[in-house]
Structure 1
């Protein structure tokens, strides 16, 4: 899916408990109106500093696609001479596009490997290399479609067994033990996973590898490692398949679950109560992330094993990947201005209405400061 300067972020249907539960916002009524931040702005009135006229091509993470659509719409309304095309083709494809010099920046839910950073020196001229700037974060929801079941509680070992094909019926005693009182149907479990190289897959499998107590025998990877299940390309299509299929379960970034009004799993982390997939619970977990700074690089290390009350443990941080120096001269002024806007209070506001969590203020300030040093 490609995003251009026209059109706003898709809104979820009005007046449902699924939407308000996922967003977990005070006074949430499920209104389908766009966030107030998407109103037209001018450079002076909106406080957005524009770069030189340019067309920016970028690609990558589908997790940030709703946020990117919102950012592009707001920014280009203020900066009319800039056109921004974002292709949500997955984190792996976005990384490849950037490393082949096809894009001004890449969006990725997974950091580049050491070998990829070395490879980036070919496109980052003058001794530069690729760095990571956190742009947005949010929960990876485990969406399900199970008739008669409004709330489903699962823990990491059980999720691992489901996605590894060891549990095949929804009324399996292992699942029933976590959902006492629920009327689980004797229905086959139909799992869906990403077919493309995906940062969402990387973070979801990282969670399972870290917390599933040996029930997940694979390392984390952008490529789905387990056998069985149905492979679907892109977050949007995966969410659609879960929506259409009774007995389905799949992992997807929260905005896609919100847009389709999907029920999402509550995760038993060992805390007093299971954690729901919503922006507040995700923000609570992300606030405890460790910052790893190396030069201009800003990486966040998530605690998948958190047992903090009310903290949702399955999260992802999306990075914008650029060069620390040696960015394309023709597009860098516009790219720098756009990234500065993303990391500004204006760029970060209202993202919760799109289903995203809040990055710690110190991280956003650090990113904004680092952007100013890049060339």
Structure 2
């Protein structure tokens, strides 16, 4: 499974080892004849590893960051569970939570945990309960850029904050030159792109900049883009397309999108001995430092965005599935539990590395697997 890309964007299969997934699991993910992949599903293996329940249509929406993972999961699940038709609409985290709290979907995908007001809104739908956060997949957020002739770019949080706040406007700015003394940086205008829709990826970028560059990023870590300037594009696919076609562009996008669009990605100077490249392995080193801060069945995580650990890539996210702890719709409950049991399983997690994601640390995956069967 050699998916090595520009600037060290390799999808190393051994990334799974960084979070203590067994070597047998790694070998399975890397290409046995039974392996599930984005372009095909081994139905015998799916049937063996997925416990089906329920029937009919299952609707979900939300995070576009998890769309590529969802594509694989849905193919696997529907290959095994012929009685369930599952549709996931990547409308963005904010849109997904809104649709969930309006009762339009059975669950939502979000790149950030529910806020108190969103929990309150969920109680209208979750009769006798509330929406809870179930972490399902992790991954690095790549700083993607389009700058011909510059193949090894290093940036740090203060510089990124100033770029996205329109305070650094040229690629040959002294701050960028200091981080890249050997690079031939052109006097070109920087074109920063951000998500125009409400996005948990935007919120995670804000959390990273707020923690790692508090003196330069004064905005709240909201799903809606908070700063002035720059240009907006809808969804992860939208910002990826804009970076790909705009010389001088820079943006933030999940690694799977950067890889599939063959975008250059920057290393981050975190204060460690060497700048850190974006990879599932390096994101896993940062995610493993997360702590569960949710109460009861809620498994919201607190990520350490300001880590300076060697090789830890701090600009990462954990994407959640949002479901009711109690009060789920009876007609969809069995299918929801069946699907989420699969996505949190070893079989569900093992397919993610090839897609550029970092599987959940085993101890967190275990908590999810213990919680999903209790949904009611």
Give the TM-score normalised by structure 1: 0.92
Q: Is the 8 A contact 1:19 1:258 kept in 2?
A: no
Distance 1:58 1:261, change over 3 A: same
Number of the residue aligned with 1:140: 141
Larger CA deviation: 284-293 vs 305-314: 284-293
Distance 1:264 1:32, change over 3 A: farther
Q: Is the 8 A contact 2:9 2:259 kept in 1?
A: no
Number of the residue aligned with 2:102: 100
Q: Is the 8 A contact 2:5 2:262 kept in 1?
A: no
Larger CA deviation: 325-334 vs 206-215: 206-215
Deviation sequence 1:308-365 (CA, Å, 0-9, x none): 0000000111110000011010011011100000011000002011010121100001
Give the distance between the partners of 1:185 and 1:59, measured in 2 at CA.
41
Q: Where in structure 2 are the equivalents of 1:1-375 lying within 5 Å?
A: 17-18=5-6, 21-25=9-13, 36-38=35-37, 39-42=41-44, 45-125=47-127, 127-375=128-376
Deviation sequence 1:209-267 (CA, Å, 0-9, x none): 11114111211110111111111011101001101111110001111001011111100
Number of the residue aligned with 1:3: none
Distance 1:86 1:33, change over 3 A: farther
Give the distance between the partners of 1:306 and 1:274, measured in 2 at CA.
13
Give the distance between the partners of 1:78 and 1:250, measured in 2 at CA.
38
Q: Is the 8 A contact 1:205 1:219 kept in 2?
A: yes
Give the distance between the partners of 2:331 and 2:308, measured in 1 at CA.
48
Q: What's the secondary structure of 2:185's corresponding residue?
A: coil
Q: Is the 8 A contact 1:35 1:350 kept in 2?
A: no
Deviation sequence 1:265-285 (CA, Å, 0-9, x none): 100000000111110000111
Distance 1:100 1:44, change over 3 A: closer
* 1:45 to partner: Cα distance: 4.8
Q: Which runs of 5+ in 1 are unaligned?
A: 1-10
Give the distance between the partners of 2:314 and 2:153, measured in 1 at CA.
16
Q: Is the 8 A contact 1:43 1:49 kept in 2?
A: no
CA RMSD of aligned residues (A): 2.2
Give the distance between the partners of 2:235 and 2:110, measured in 1 at CA.
14
* 1:18 to partner: Cα distance: 2.6
Number of the residue aligned with 1:8: none
Larger CA deviation: 15-24 vs 186-195: 15-24
* 1:15 to partner: Cα distance: 6.9
Give the distance between the partners of 2:4 and 2:160, measured in 1 at CA.
27
Q: Which runs of 5+ in 2 are unaligned?
A: 16-29
Q: What's the secondary structure of 1:367's corresponding residue?
A: helix
Distance 1:323 1:165, change over 3 A: same
Give the distance between the partners of 1:101 and 1:165, measured in 2 at CA.
39
Q: Is the 8 A contact 2:7 2:266 kept in 1?
A: no
Give the distance between the partners of 1:111 and 1:244, measured in 2 at CA.
33
* 1:19 to partner: Cα distance: 8.8
Number of the residue aligned with 1:6: none
Q: Flag the structure with higher helix content.
A: 2
Give the distance between the partners of 1:161 and 1:19, measured in 2 at CA.
23
Give the TM-score normalised by structure 2: 0.92
Say how many residue pairs are matched.
360
Give the distance between the partners of 1:315 and 1:178, measured in 2 at CA.
21
